[in-house]
Structure 1
C-alpha cells in the first residue's frame, strides 16, 4: 500500500508539472465524470482454518489486474456520487497444512461499489477527493483446482456474497478542459465463507479479503 501511494504521488507530481493545461475543467453541480482505469486488486486476506477436515490450514487470495469503469454524478460543486464497475479473477491459495496444494480454487469477483465523494477544489486544475460508501461483492464461476480434486476428489466450491463498506482517496489532474488523468485508491471490506462440498463431506472457512484497489486512468467531464 505504501508503494502504491508513493507511486500515485509521484505520477501526480509529474503530470501536474509537465502538462500545459489550456483551461480548468471546473467541475460543477450536474456534471457527469466518466473514468476508465487500470486497477490492481491487492487482498489483505486472513482466514480461519478449513474445517472440519483440514485443521491448521489457511486460505489466501492472490492479486489481480483488470480494467475498470466508473461514473460520478456531481450533486453539488463539491459532492459527487461514484459507481464503480469491474470484475476480476482470483486464485485461492492453500496455506498452513494444505500449502502443498498451492492453488485450491479460482473464482471471479464482481464488486459494484457506490461512494459519496467530497471534492476539495472543484475549480482547480488539480482536484483531490475523499469518498466513503458501500460495496456488494458477488462471487461467481468458482471452481476447484486440479490439485484439490486429485487430493480429495471432485469438489464443488461456493463463496457467499459480501456486503461491506468502502473508503476512497483520489485525485484528478487536468489535461484539457474536459479530459483529466485520475489516480485512485480504495479499501473495500469484503468477507466471505468458502464452502467445499466433496460428496457428503462439507468443509468451510471464513475468509476476510479486504483488498486495496489502486487505479490509474483517464477521465472525461460530460
Structure 2
C-alpha cells in the first residue's frame, strides 16, 4: 500500500512538472498587434545634373498603419523579435529651395526590424522591455509627381526600441511601444530632361500600441 501511495505521489509530481514545463514552453512566443504611427525625421542632399542643389530638401508626412511583432524568448529575459506592418503611402514634397515644385512624388513602403530584447519582469503583470537591432526600409512602389521616373532603393539601418506589456492574465494583455530607426534611401528621378539624385535620411519614429498574446 505504501509503495502504491509513493508511486501515485511520484506520478502526480511528474504530471505537475510536465504541466509546468508545458506552460513555460507555451509562453515562449508572443505577438504584438495594433495600430502604429510612422513619423519620419527626414532630410536630403540633392544633386541635379551632377551638381549640388544648395538648400534643397524634402518633407515626408507621417502616416498611420498597422504593425505586427512576433517574438520568441530564448531565455526567461531575452527575446528575439521581428516587426513589420502594412506599407503606407507617404507623400514626398520638395522643400527648401525647391519648395515651389510641390509634390515630388509618393513612396509606398515602411520600416521593419529584427531586434534583440531584454524583458525586465517577464512573469509579472507589468513587463517593461528594451531592444535594439537592424532596421529595414522596404520600398514597394513609387509614383511620380513633379519628378518623373522616380525610383527609391530599399535600405538597412539600425533601430532602438522601448516598451511595456500590461498583462491581464498569462496569455492576454496590452502593450505600448516606441521604436527609433536610423535608415535612409537613395532616390533617382528626372526633373524635365535633368537627372536628379537625392540621398534621403528617413529616420522614422514609430509609435505602436495594441494587444499582446503569449503562447
Shorter-chain TM-score bucket reads 0.7 to 0.9
Q: Does 1:194 align with 2:187?
A: yes
Equivalent position of 1:119 in the other structure: 119
Equivalent position of 1:59 in the other structure: 58
Q: What is the SS of the residue equivalent to 1:164?
A: strand
Equivalent position of 2:18 in the other structure: none
Q: What is the SS of the residue equivalent to 2:69?
A: strand
Structure 2 gaps, min length 5: 1-22
Aligned residue runs from structure 1 range 1-222, under 5 A: 31-52=28-49, 54-86=53-85, 87-145=87-145, 148=146, 155-197=148-190, 201-222=194-215
Aligned partners of 1:47 and 1:60 also within 8 Å: no
Please tell me whether Structure 1 or Structure 2 has the larger radius of gyration of its CA atoms. 2
Q: What is the SS of the residue equivalent to 1:112?
A: strand
Farther off after superposition, 195-204 or 180-189: 195-204
Equivalent position of 1:10 in the other structure: none
Structure 1 gaps, min length 5: 1-26, 150-154
> Using the alignment, how far apart are the partners of 1:216 and 1:112 within structure 2?
16
> Using the alignment, how far apart are the partners of 1:48 and 1:173 within structure 2?
43
TM-score (norm 1): 0.79
Q: Give the superposition deviation at 1:115.
A: 0.1
**Structure with the higher strand share, 1 or 2:** 2
Compared with structure 1, are the counterparts of its residues 62 and 28 closer, same or farther at alpha carbon in structure 2 (3 Å cutoff)?
Answer: farther
> Using the alignment, how far apart are the partners of 2:123 and 2:168 within structure 1?
14
Q: Give the superposition deviation at 1:106.
A: 0.4
TM-score (norm 2): 0.81
> Using the alignment, how far apart are the partners of 1:144 and 1:50 within structure 2?
18
Aligned partners of 2:134 and 2:157 also within 8 Å: yes
